[in-house]
Structure formats: C-alpha cells, structure tokens
Structure 1
Amino acid sequence: MAEEEMADTKKAERLEQLSIVVAATDGIHVLTPAGEIDHHTGDALSQALDLTGRPRPRVVVDLHQVTFMDSSGINVLIAAHRALTEAGGWLRLARPTGAVMRTLQLVGLDTVIECHETLHQALTN
C-alpha cells in the first residue's frame, strides 16, 4: 500500500511541474506556462498549442515563468511553429528567462521563431 501511495505522489509531483494559463488578447492566444517544460510536461504544452483547427491561429507563448526547458520543449515549439504557420498563423515567444533564452539560442530556435523581450512587443510586432 505504501508503495502505491508513493507512486501516486511522484506522478502528482511530475504533473504539477507545469501549469498553463490560456488567455486571448485581440484574437491572439496567449499561453503562459509556469514551471518546467521537459519530457514529462511537454504533452500538456503541445495540447495547449494545438489551435490548428482555427483559421489563421496566432499564438504568443509567454515564457517568463518557465524555469527549465529541455529538448522536449524545443521539439514542442518547433512542431507548433510548423503547424501554426501551415495553418496561416504564427507563433511568437515572449519574455524568456535567461536559462530558457540560452537554450533557445544554443539550438538556434531564436532565429526560427520570433522572440521578444516583452509581451507587448510579441503582441504588436
């Protein structure tokens, strides 16, 4: 019984590592993830980014509360960028933390997906 409780606790902790707030501003979907984006939480971000059923989906991911992102997060952003662009929309990133920005720059994603220092810039440029 104790092992089952421990397994449930570990699963709950893993799921709580990322929360995502979704809002809309002038027809632009703003996703604000908080926590870590990794192989345990990437699916949640991927699902939140799946707006391809809408005409010309425009999305900003506000990264100011993301404390860590690994290659799983990079892959989610690349796939979303591709899908949204193919649907006639776009994906922009706003306010990445220093650690996340280093990851984006290391793999060159900041040259593929627009990165902005402020949310306002991401929404208006």
Structure 2
Amino acid sequence: MTDISPTERPERLCVARTTADGIRVVTLRGDIDHDVKDALTTALLPPDGADDGQAPRVVADLSGVTFLDSTGINVFVQVHQQVSTAQGWLRLAAARESVTRVFELVGLDTVIACHPTVEQALNP
C-alpha cells in the first residue's frame, strides 16, 4: 500500500508512505522546516488507534530532502523517543551529504541509526 500526501505547501514537502515486511517506510521529498513540522510528525508516527500489537518500526527515506533545520531534528528526536518507548525504532536512510552533515554537527547520528540506503535500514 502506498499513501502519498502533499502538505499544505506541496513544493515544500511531499510524503509517501509504504510498508515493507511490517516496517513503515516514509519517503520524504523537499524541505523540512517549521512549516511542515506537524505533517512530518504525522507521517512518521503510526496513525492513532493503529495498535496491531507490533512495536512501531519506521524507516525515513531522506534521499529527496533538500533542506533540514532544527525543527526537523527535533521531530526526529521526538518520534525516536515515542517509538522507542513503544519498543520500536526509527531509522534514517539515504540522506544527502548536506543533511548528513547536519546530523553529524548536532550528534543526531549518535542517537538515531543512520543508514546509507533504505535497503540497509530495512535489515536488522
């Protein structure tokens, strides 16, 4: 199943959601900043009432992210904490060099697993 949801400003961020072996894959394209905070949080977290008895496992495909500010960092940390509390995980994948550099500067890559490809993030 694929669900594509443009935000209120589609030139800013486009979100596509799929599932692979029970893992939620969220593909992000565009800019991640304050304007898309709520849309990003909603895209990464399981829908309300979606308790299928499994721990939430999420891979964020960042290959199409062209800009990321502190708001995006905060959303990733918040989602990481929420899914970890539920015995799940969040993995970041395929980030461009400029986005990876931001992760390294703030130390996010030491808190959340970052993988060079989505395929690697999907594997245990």
The structure with the greater share of residues assigned to helix is 1
Q: TM-score under structure 1 normalisation?
A: 0.86
Structure 2 letter corresponding to 1:23? T
SS in 2 for 1:64: strand
Q: In structure 2, what is the equivalent of residue 48 of structure 1?
A: 43
1:1-125 alignment runs, 5 A limit? 15-16=9-10, 17-51=12-46, 53-54=50-51, 55-125=54-124
- The separation in 2 between residues aligned to 1:33 and 1:118, in whole angstroms, is 14
Name the % identity: 48
Assess if the C-alpha contact under 8 Å between 1:14 and 1:40 holds in 2. Answer: no
The structure with the greater share of residues assigned to strand is 2
| Unmatched segments (≥5 aa) in structure 2 | 1-6
Residue 71 of structure 1, CA deviation: 0.2
| Unmatched segments (≥5 aa) in structure 1 | 1-12
RMSD of Structure 2 on Structure 1 (CA): 1.5
